[in-house]
Structure 1
Amino acid sequence: MFLDDGQNENADRMIRASLAQLTNNISPAAVMLTYVDWLSSLAVSPGKQMSLIQKALKKQFRLSAWTARSAFEPDAEPCIEPLPQDRRFRHESWQLFPYNVIYQGFLLHQQWWFNATTGLRGLSPHHEQALEFGARQWLDMWAPSNFLLTNPQVLGKTVNSGGTNLIQGWHHLVDDWQRNMLGKKPAGAEDYVVGDNVGITPGKVVFRNHLMELIQYAPTTSQVHAEPVLIIPAWIMKHYILDLSPPNSLVKYLVDQGHTVFMISWRNPTGEDRNLELDDYRRQGIMDSLEVIGEVVPDSKVHAVGYCLGGTLLAIAAAAMARDGDERLASLTMFAAQTDFREAGELMLFIDDKQLAFLEDVMWSQGVLDTKQMAGAFQLLRSNDLIWSRMVNSYLLGERQPMNDLMAWNADATRMPYRMHSEYLRRLFLNNDFAEGRFSVDNKPVAINAIRVPIFAVGTERDHVAPWRSIYKIHLLADTDELTFLLTSGGHNAGIVSPPERTRRHYRMSTMHGHDAYVDPDLWLARTPVNQGSWWPAWQAWLADHSGPKTSPPELGSTHYPPLGDAPGTYVLQE
């Protein structure tokens, strides 16, 4: 009995999906091609080979000379400094012999491998980046800071505490393993409960469909700006990242400043939602929300705000609305949201045709991209901070990092539907269809330069998910008369959650008008002055300037859309 082509293809997909469980969802074919490309390029580059041999000998000589000198000069300048973001060897105990030699040798070895995996003529840029990333991950795993006998800070604590740190670390390890096996949240996350101490800004759910609940927040001022604000978070995250505990809640901050705020709370999809499309999120999310807001706050335009993937979708929706003459938007704000994906950072290392085909087979078998699979990719982008440093602190030093509301939120992940996520990765990340004019809505192409409303774009300095220079590209795509770009300190999440009380934060901000010449990002960074403090007040002032005169607050809901329940709603509670 023979199988038809469809059955044979499904059998192949099931085999690849099973294989993914052993490879942590990394395509073996993609990895093999990367290394074959590197080895074949290196094999026909004897000059590069000779250069690497010379560099290895020079580094060995430098380390030997420095070791001899440091024996007589304890304060001798090191022969290599860690990168600014590398905090592994900052403790003073690393300057003691022999640990200073150990960490210096490691850094020189790391530098040699960077030279070995980059600058090789003929090597594909994508393969070069993937190879350098893979080598860095491998070396980070074997860093001397990760092991008891080569980490002087851990050894010192072990001696001083009589080994109690290792006993405590063992308890942490067992606890984490049990939590992982049982699907529980990390230790301390149970102290942050949605609707109890996070996500507690008062409001009502005024609309619900299969994909989202729309929350309208209650006013706290006697007068409000006439034009409401609609916030569209990414469905890769739960909406309360913008409504954490009250001191860290952007929603509360906006409401207290006299804004009427609506927020989409996305449903957590299951395997039954496998065929949801990206356009379903546009129609049932953004467009349905605008319809409801038009009933609750009639005759008013809307300030739309999109975060991450929600910002990308908002830009697509705004471009389609502009194309069709829909003038319901007053302005567009995008938090850490990309519209051009050609330089989307190290996340692109996980995105090529072979890797996407492999990932699609995994999602096809499950119906969704699981939360653990998604979290693993993001952790690799910051493995030193999110994996190895955490393991050293928790299991070797026996010290738990205190849980906070943002960390607890980060552990409350959501899934991604198979069809939507595949479409998003292929059409936006891989093919860059939106920025290059090939993305269609209702079978007609959409373009960012159709958007005419004022745009406010926010990037963060240490964003590993949406690098700020990638976000900055909106200057090349938009054709609005007013585009404000703000760059804030912090990363993809911590940079956005920046309440005014955090005085150690800083930001840069400038506005480009239609007649202004383009400035490249590096020149912009050099010439734009730094402002100390949170960026929230600056954006809120911009928002207020673009809003109408103040008026009495609207009722919560309307005749056609009566309140369905209290905020934060029911979808946010779905596991």
Structure 2
Amino acid sequence: MSENESQQAFTQMIKQLGQQMVDAGQLMQDNAERFWFNAQRQSLMMQEISDAITELSKNPQLLQQYQQQIFQALSEPSDSQVEKKDRRFQHEAWQQPGFAELKQLYLSFSQLTQQLFNDLPEQDAAKKQRQQFYIRQWLSAISPSNYLMTNPEALQQAQNTNGLSVLQGIQNYLDDMKRNKGMQNIRMTDLSAFELGKNIACTPGSVIFQNDLFQLIQYTPTTQKVAQKPLLVVPPWINKYYILDLQAHNSWVKWVVDQGFTVFMISWVNPDKQHKHLAFDDYMKQGVVEATNAIEQHTGEQAINAVGYCLGGTLLGCTLAYMKAKGDQRIQSATFFTTLLDFSDPGELGCFISEQQLDILEQQMAHEGVLDGRSLALAYNMLRENELHWSYHVNNYLLGKEPPVFDLLYWNSDATNLPANMHRFYLRNMYQENRLKDPSGITLDGTAIDISKIDIPSYFLSAQKDHIALWKSTYLGAQQLSGNVEFVLSGSGHVAGVINPPENQKYSYFTHPEISSSADNWLSAAQETEGSWWEHWRDWLKQHSGDSVAARAINDGKLPALEPAPGEYVKKKC
């Protein structure tokens, strides 16, 4: 670009930004209540850090040791004290004099500060975890990589583009603010690169049933014969179902259909204020039970298998206990993907469910009718803040670049709301009070729930690096059931550990036929197999799927096709 063209582009962008800043001011005014709730959360975070500092003041010896270590780090910064593989500082510009020392000093300070608060005598374990989490968030936020004047790569980019990168970064920030109504959800991919039903969520099928809560999709068979028992998939309603149906090369749904199974998928509605009354009971009775009824009516089969993913798995567990109490035996095997049934250790998610945090959240949900899915997405992203938040802050805002095209991140950005009534029940009874593991600990639709009565064959798939449903916590849930349980541990995390096609030849998985007294004992006795767990699960499912029958064409069923997959419910945005 010539200097004249650069000047013209600069002038044009300045004009556009002026109006957008005016719009941003109006946006903040229109969403004043949301900013107030966010300010309350920030105040709680600062109070937790203040409490940690107060506790530190009671340990002068530990504080003195820390001060000596900090002084040494400031006086003699050393590469041995830094994490050389930290992605924030991989650009060659960080090797320049001044910036290299700044990087080393920051990493030394961050490492020593986290260690200091880790070494504090344990008080209340939950409070200490919150303090450590918030201190880590603060340390991540003050990284010199996050600010234009202390990021040499961003300064180089500004110089190379004659300042256009800075203006483009401001533009990207204002666009995010407008799209997310003031929430700090940074765009993680090109949101125009995918269209549902075209190049994502495009496995052929039809919606064959719907009510106010969900649409039920049957996928078109690709084999001449299929297993007798249909397969019902219960995805989480925290996210949209198509994490299981991204593109042809990584679609779990397509792969399962190609293995000769008749697959039915629940596609939950993206709720708004009119759905605020929906309860957890409704997701069970109007959701899973109604879907089971529809499959029986459509296919004539009275026995099916079911899969539940994350919160969908928790709901499936509740439904199985409910159906057991009612004498309903139609679901004859269950698969749980990264599912918590025992919430004894929710990991860092527990940092968001202190009594004070829940009080603020419940006030906000009472005001808005739903929990905006974008705020929940931000909370999940902050569990891996440098990878899922600050890296995009640097790329989009400081460098003024576009994020890469990535189907998984498009799905991750396609948030769903949560009804206030349901979410309040879920957080209080599951995460905070952990009542699901107790016989009759919760009651749904007037029926006491006892997951220990679930005696059908079950398959638990968990992931070693899962930061949302810790695998040792999911193992506790597997121990609760009374039927035969197959526990499998995959590599990677909450999503990549599940969406791992065999063709990728990535990661590995661990198996062992017996559930032992502890997760560590199970793992020490388990056998590791390279590659994807998908084929292992397929072989397990076939044992519980009956004989082969002629493939079920959608139009041969009792229920008419209402519209092509993926249906309308999944297309609704927050």
TM-score by length of 1: 0.87
Match of 1:341 among 336, 340, 343: 343
Measured against aligned partners, the alpha-carbon deviations of 1:329-384 in whole angstroms (never above 9, x if no partner) come to: 12111111111112111111010222111101101011111122212212221210
Point out where structure 1 has 5 or more consecutive residues left out of the alignment: 1-16, 68-77
Change (3 A) 1:249 1:28: closer
Change (3 A) 1:122 1:192: closer
CA contact (8 A) 2:350 2:431 kept: yes
CA contact (8 A) 2:236 2:313 kept: yes
**1:462 maps onto 2:465 in alignment:** yes
Structure 2 Cα separation of the partners of residues 146 and 472 of structure 1 = 38
CA contact (8 A) 2:73 2:108 kept: no
Matched AA of 2:536? A
CA contact (8 A) 1:311 1:334 kept: yes
2:253 matched residue in structure 1: 251
Match of 1:237 among 236, 239, 256: 239
2:358 matched residue in structure 1: 356
2:65 matched residue in structure 1: 54
Measured against aligned partners, the alpha-carbon deviations of 1:110-145 in whole angstroms (never above 9, x if no partner) come to: 123223333433632222111111111111111122
CA contact (8 A) 1:192 1:405 kept: yes
2:165 matched residue in structure 1: 168
Measured against aligned partners, the alpha-carbon deviations of 1:281-301 in whole angstroms (never above 9, x if no partner) come to: 001110001111112232452
The aligned runs of 1:216-365 (5 Å cut-off) are: 216-365=218-367
CA contact (8 A) 1:226 1:300 kept: no
SS at match of 1:492: coil
Match of 1:410 among 409, 412, 431: 412
CA contact (8 A) 1:228 1:261 kept: yes
CA contact (8 A) 1:344 1:465 kept: yes
Structure 2 Cα separation of the partners of residues 556 and 173 of structure 1 = 50
Q: By how many angstroms is 1:217 displaced? A: 0.8
The aligned runs of 1:347-496 (5 Å cut-off) are: 347-437=349-439, 438-480=441-483, 482-496=484-498
CA contact (8 A) 1:192 1:198 kept: yes
Q: By how many angstroms is 1:452 displaced? A: 1.0
Measured against aligned partners, the alpha-carbon deviations of 1:261-293 in whole angstroms (never above 9, x if no partner) come to: 000011111101111100000011100011111
Matched AA of 1:405? D
Matched AA of 1:445? A
Match of 1:538 among 536, 539, 563: 536
Q: By how many angstroms is 1:39 displaced? A: 4.4
CA contact (8 A) 1:188 1:403 kept: yes
Change (3 A) 1:146 1:28: closer
SS at match of 1:440: strand
Structure 2 Cα separation of the partners of residues 176 and 304 of structure 1 = 42
Q: By how many angstroms is 1:559 displaced? A: 6.3
Structure 2 Cα separation of the partners of residues 153 and 175 of structure 1 = 18
Change (3 A) 1:535 1:177: farther
Structure 1 Cα separation of the partners of residues 459 and 416 of structure 2 = 27
Matched AA of 2:175? Q
Q: By how many angstroms is 1:500 displaced? A: 2.1
Q: By how many angstroms is 1:321 displaced? A: 1.6
SS at match of 1:108: helix
Structure 1 Cα separation of the partners of residues 435 and 110 of structure 2 = 37
Structure 2 Cα separation of the partners of residues 369 and 134 of structure 1 = 22
Q: By how many angstroms is 1:534 displaced? A: 2.1
1:127 matched residue in structure 2: 127
Point out where structure 2 has 5 or more consecutive residues left out of the alignment: 1-30, 182-186
Structure 1 Cα separation of the partners of residues 166 and 482 of structure 2 = 56
Measured against aligned partners, the alpha-carbon deviations of 1:151-178 in whole angstroms (never above 9, x if no partner) come to: 45445x54xx952296235324403422
Structure 1 Cα separation of the partners of residues 265 and 236 of structure 2 = 11
My pick for the range that moved more, 482-491 or 341-350, is 482-491
2:52 matched residue in structure 1: 38
Structure 2 Cα separation of the partners of residues 162 and 32 of structure 1 = 37
Structure 1 Cα separation of the partners of residues 522 and 395 of structure 2 = 38
Change (3 A) 1:547 1:202: same
My pick for the range that moved more, 294-303 or 144-153, is 144-153
SS at match of 1:279: helix
Measured against aligned partners, the alpha-carbon deviations of 1:20-68 in whole angstroms (never above 9, x if no partner) come to: 523526546744653464344334x2xx22222123213432564455x
1:4 matched residue in structure 2: none
2:83 matched residue in structure 1: 82
Structure 1 Cα separation of the partners of residues 283 and 84 of structure 2 = 41
Change (3 A) 1:39 1:411: closer
Q: By how many angstroms is 1:436 displaced? A: 2.3
Structure 1 Cα separation of the partners of residues 322 and 191 of structure 2 = 40
SS at match of 2:88: coil
Aligned residues: 537
Change (3 A) 1:249 1:93: same
2:568 matched residue in structure 1: 570
Structure 2 Cα separation of the partners of residues 487 and 449 of structure 1 = 22
Q: By how many angstroms is 1:425 displaced? A: 0.6
Change (3 A) 1:23 1:517: closer
My pick for the range that moved more, 272-281 or 407-416, is 407-416
Matched AA of 1:279? D
Structure 2 Cα separation of the partners of residues 114 and 198 of structure 1 = 41
Q: By how many angstroms is 1:193 displaced? A: 0.5
Matched AA of 1:24? N
Change (3 A) 1:64 1:42: closer
Change (3 A) 1:204 1:392: same
Structure 2 Cα separation of the partners of residues 173 and 510 of structure 1 = 53
1:112 matched residue in structure 2: 112
Structure 2 Cα separation of the partners of residues 169 and 529 of structure 1 = 52
